[in-house]
């Protein structure tokens, strides 16, 4: 197999939560061709999971069976007039930096969202100002046989933190449409947003960002704070005092600690406000029961 392969690789260092057990096998393709060859040759029953910057996931303490593919080698950025072609493994922060340098604006609303381009498209990441699909022209993905598919924006349905792409497709790249702008003005608007975020989110602590989706018409952070849960801790996992929709790892937290805190939050918010919070982070690897939608009663 071409590309970098590691066996029984601990995944915690590849996640922003700093939590999680081992992958049976970690594969780091250095380009699309290596990834396509891997997918083509991999036995069909072999589980395959995609890991980008590891910023929106909770990896199981028991780790991940099969192969985890790390996308960081898909890292190209090519400007073409007011369009950019970018690899799925490029970090959003780096993309925004390069766009500003080229005088291309329109995606500054993504400032501060951790993660890679591929991960952001997969879950249509965004803020109150907009989502990644707003600027998408086309995306390129591989299916489980390693075949290449191009999809125009209009051929794919994007909703709040979701897309209609087949689950087993691997996004490898995308093209975005930007507006011509002035580099210093674009940089200033990025700096402004970063400052706002520093004031309201626990950015210096290990976390996975927003844990729950905002329920229609309300905010998970507001509800969790109103339920009196700020600062509540299970093991080394704690509801952040800076932003109640963040769980922070105070050092050595396990996935079990986080899950048990998630259950506690969902139970309390359900009891007090009759709202069932849904997970925004993804559970990655071997978990005993499907958690989504299961914990409302405790």
Binding site for ligand EPU (CB under 6 A): 112, 127-128, 200, 209-210, 213-214, 219, 221-222, 225, 243-245, 280
Q: How far is the CB of 145 from ligand EPU (least distance, A)?
A: 32
DSSP 213: P
Residue at shortest CB range from ligand EPU: 209
Secondary structure (DSSP) of 152-200 = EGGGS-EETTEE-S-TT-EEEEEEEE-EE--HHHHHHHHHHHHHHHHHH
Smallest gap from residue 148 Cβ to ligand EPU (A): 29
Residue 268 annotated as catalytic: no
> Cβ 195 to ligand EPU, closest distance in Å?
12
In degrees, to the nearest 5, what angle opens at C-alpha 197 toward C-alphas 295 and 192?
155
In the residue annotation, 161 being an active-site residue is answered as: yes
Pick the closer one to ligand EPU by CB: 33 or 196: 196
Strand-pairing partners, residue 210, are: 246
Decide: 190 and 94 in contact? Cβ < 8 Å: no
Instruction: Output 63 or 209, the one with its CB closest to ligand EPU.
Output: 209
Nearer to ligand EPU, 80 or 128 (CB): 128
71 CA to centre of own chain: 12
**Residue closer to ligand EPU (CB basis): 128 or 289:** 128
Query: Least CB distance from residue 167 to ligand EPU, whole Å?
Result: 20
Structure tokens at 93: 């922060």
Q: To 10 degrees, the CA torsion angle through 136, 245, 284, 149?
A: -10
280 is catalytic: yes
Choose the catalytic residue: 55, 207, 210, 240. Answer: 210
Length of the chain: 298
Q: Which of 30, 161, 193, 264 is catalytic?
A: 161
| Catalytic center residues | 161, 210, 280
């Amino acid at each position: 197999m071409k590309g970098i392969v590691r066996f029984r690789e601990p995944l915690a260092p590849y996640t922003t939560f700093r939590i999680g057990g081992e992958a049976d096998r970690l594969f780091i393709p250095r380009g699309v061709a290596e990834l396509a060859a891997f997918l083509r040759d991999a036995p069909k029953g072999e589980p395959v999971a995609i890991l980008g910057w590891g910023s929106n996931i909770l990896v199981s303490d028991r780790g991940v069976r099969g192969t985890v593919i790390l996308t960081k080698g898909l890292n190209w950025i090519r400007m073409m007039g007011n369009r950019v072609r970018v690899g799925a493994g490029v970090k959003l922060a780096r993309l925004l930096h390069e766009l500003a340098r080229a005088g291309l604006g329109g995606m500054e609303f993504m400032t501060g969202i951790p993660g890679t381009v591929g991960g952001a498209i997969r879950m249509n990441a965004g803020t109150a100002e907009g989502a990644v699909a707003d600027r998408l022209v086309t995306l390129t993905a591989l299916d489980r046989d390693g075949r290449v598919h191009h999809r125009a924006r209009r051929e794919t349905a994007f909703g709040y933190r979701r897309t209609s792409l087949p689950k087993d497709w691997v996004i490898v790249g995308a093209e975005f449409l930007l507006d011509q702008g002035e580099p210093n003005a674009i940089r200033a608007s990025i700096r402004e947003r970063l400052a706002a975020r520093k004031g309201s989110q626990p950015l210096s602590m290990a976390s996975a960002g927003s844990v729950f989706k905002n329920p229609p018409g309300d905010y998970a952070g507001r509800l969790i704070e109103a339920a009196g849960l700020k600062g509540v801790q299970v093991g080394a996992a704690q509801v952040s005092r800076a932003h109640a929709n963040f769980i922070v790892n105070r050092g050595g937290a396990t996935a079990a600690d986080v899950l048990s805190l998630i259950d506690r939050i969902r139970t309390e918010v359900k009891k007090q406000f009759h709202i069932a919070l849904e997970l925004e982070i993804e559970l990655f690897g071997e978990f005993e029961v499907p958690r989504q939608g299961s914990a409302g009663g405790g």
